[in-house]
Amino acid sequence: MTRMQPARRWRENWLVSGEGKILKILMKAGFVYDPIYLKHDTGQHVENAGRLEAISSLLEETGLTQQLTPIKPRAASVDELSLVHDEQHISHVFDVAQRGGGWLDADTVMSVDSYEVALYAAGGVITATEAVMSGEVASAFALVRPPGHHATSRRAMGFCLFNNVAVATEYALAKCNLERIAIIDFDVHHGNGTQESFYDNPQVLYTSTHESPFYPGTGYVEETGSGVAKGTTVNIPLPAGCGDNEYLQVFEQIVSPAVRRFKPQLILVSAGYDPHWVDGLAMMQVTTTGFAQMVRVIKRLADEFCRGRIVICLEGGYHLQALAYSVKATFDVLLGNTSIEDPLGQSPRRFQTLGVDPLLNRIREIHALP
Ligand SMILES: [Zn+2]
C-alpha cells in the first residue's frame, strides 16, 4: 500500500491531491445584507435604497446568492461607535433622527430611521469581520448603507454618518487580538475619515486610490501618517481619466509592495464603485472587469499574508447597473469563479493612456517602496 501523499498547492484556487487529482478549494464567501438598510430614506439623493435593491436583485437573478453564506448583521453598540467617534457626534446623529431627520451637511441627509440603520451599517461590517475571524467564511462583503469612509470622529459628511470600516477595524484590533490590519480603499473619493482615524496608529495601513483634485480635497501623497505611524498612510491621488491599466499598475506597483511590507493579518476593503466609467459622480474610466482585477490582487495579498481573510465594505457607486455587476464581479473573484460578466464593457470615449509613471515613482520614493 502506498502512503497517502499530502496535497500541494497548484495555482491560486486549486490543490493537487496526493493521487494527482486536481481539487478546487472551497472558498466560502459570505455576504451581509438586511432589508433594514433600505430604511435610510434619502429621497431623490444619488445615494439611495435603489443601490442595494439593484445589487440584491442581480445576485438573486444570477443565482450567486446560493453560492454565498448569508450573515445576519447586528447593530453596533454606542461603545463600539465610540472606538472611532466622539459622543457628541453620535448623539447629534441620534437627535436629528429623533426630530424626523434632516441635512447634516450640504451632501448628507438622514431620515427618521437613519440612526438605527447606521448602527446596523457599522454593525454589519463588525459582523462580517467576526464571521471571517471565526473561520465561518474566508471572506465577507458587507452590503451596507449609509456608506462610511468620509465620516470623521466628529462629523458626518459626504453621505456618511459613521465610519463603518474604521469602527470594524478598531473592533478587530480590540477584540480579535490582531496587531496589523490593512485597509485598501478604491472608492473614487479619498476616505478622509478613515485616514484621520488611523493617521497616528502604526497598527493600521491605509492605502487609497482616488481622483484628485476632487472631493473631499484631502489625500495628497505627502500625507503619510504621523509620529510612529509615519509611512502607514499611502495616498495615490490619480488624475481624472484613469482606467483599468492605470489602476492595475497602481495595485501592482504601490498597493501590493506596501501591503507586503506591512504583512497584515486581515485586509479590509472600502469598496466604492464610483471609479466606473459610466458613474456620473466622477471622471474615471474603470470597467467592471477592472474592479475584478483589483480584487484579484487584493485576494492574492490576503492569501499570502492573512489566510485569505478579507472583509469588504460597500462605500460608493451610483450607476445602478455598473454597481450591481461590479459587486457581482467582486463576489465572483472571492468565490474563485473565473468568468466575469461585464455587460457595460469599455468606455466608448477614447482616453489617451495617461502616464502615471512619474507619480508612481514619486510615491515609491516617498514610501521607500521597492
Ligand atoms: Zn465615492
Give residues with Cβ within 8 angstroms of 33, minimum separation 6.
Answer: 52, 56, 70, 73, 143
Helices (H), the chain: 50-61, 78-81, 87-98, 114-133, 164-175, 192-198, 244-250, 256-262, 288-305, 320-335, 357-366
pLDDT tens for each residue of 260-270: 999 999 999 99
Predicted confidence band of residue 27 (pLDDT cuts 50, 70, 90): confident
Predicted confidence band of residue 353 (pLDDT cuts 50, 70, 90): low
C-alpha cell at 234: 499611502
Confidence at residue 134, expressed as pLDDT on a 0 to 100 scale = 95
Confidence at residue 24, expressed as pLDDT on a 0 to 100 scale = 55
Confidence at residue 14, expressed as pLDDT on a 0 to 100 scale = 57
Q: Region 66-85: what's the mean pLDDT?
A: 98
Distances (CA, A) of 194 to 1, 80, 259: 58, 16, 17
Confidence at residue 148, expressed as pLDDT on a 0 to 100 scale = 98
Mean pLDDT across the chain: 94
**How many angstroms is it from 329 CA to the middle of ligand 1?**
19
C-alpha cell at 341: 460578466
Q: Region 121-143: what's the mean pLDDT?
A: 97
The alpha-carbon radius of gyration of the chain (Å, integer) is: 20
Q: Region 332-345: what's the mean pLDDT?
A: 96
In this prediction the pTM is 0.94
**How many angstroms is it from 315 CA to the middle of ligand 1?**
7
Catalytic residue among 85, 89, 150, 189: 150
- C-alpha angle with apex 244: 341 to 327, nearest 5 degrees? 40
**How many angstroms is it from 241 CA to the middle of ligand 1?**
16
Confidence at residue 288, expressed as pLDDT on a 0 to 100 scale = 98
Burial of 54-77, coded b for 16+ CB within 10 Å and e otherwise, reads bbbebbeebebeebbeebebebbe
Contact 148/163 with Cβ under 8 angstroms?
Answer: yes
Name the nearest CA neighbour of 147 among 12, 69, 46: 46
Contact 178/138 with Cβ under 8 angstroms?
Answer: no
pLDDT tens for each residue of 14-25: 566 667 666 555
Concatenating the DSSP letter of every residue in 90-152 gives HHHHHHHHHTTEEESSSS-EEETTHHHHHHHHHHHHHHHHHHHHTTS-SEEEE--SS--TT--
**How many angstroms is it from 163 CA to the middle of ligand 1?**
13
Name the nearest CA neighbour of 229 among 269, 198, 256: 198
Ramachandran region of residue 11, left (φ > 0), alpha (ψ -120 to 50) or beta?
left
Predicted confidence band of residue 354 (pLDDT cuts 50, 70, 90): confident
C-alpha cell at 1: 500500500
Predicted confidence band of residue 303 (pLDDT cuts 50, 70, 90): very high
Model confidence at 292: pLDDT above 70: yes
**How many angstroms is it from 47 CA to the middle of ligand 1?**
10
Q: Region 100-123: what's the mean pLDDT?
A: 97
**How many angstroms is it from 316 CA to the middle of ligand 1?**
4
Check if 45 is active-site.
no
Ligand 1 ion local residues (Cβ < 5 A): 187, 189, 272, 274, 316
Helices (H), 145-243: 164-175, 192-198
Predicted confidence band of residue 109 (pLDDT cuts 50, 70, 90): very high
Name the nearest CA neighbour of 336 among 127, 64, 59: 64
pLDDT tens for each residue of 206-236: 999 999 999 999 999 999 999 999 999 999 9
Ramachandran angles phi, psi of 14, nearest 5°: -130, 150
Q: Region 286-314: what's the mean pLDDT?
A: 97
Predicted confidence band of residue 349 (pLDDT cuts 50, 70, 90): confident
Contact 82/131 with Cβ under 8 angstroms?
Answer: no
**How many angstroms is it from 141 CA to the middle of ligand 1?**
17
**How many angstroms is it from 270 CA to the middle of ligand 1?**
10
pLDDT tens for each residue of 158-179: 999 999 999 999 999 999 999 9
**How many angstroms is it from 52 CA to the middle of ligand 1?**
15
Confidence at residue 175, expressed as pLDDT on a 0 to 100 scale = 97
d(CA 99, CA 18): 65
C-alpha cell at 3: 502512503
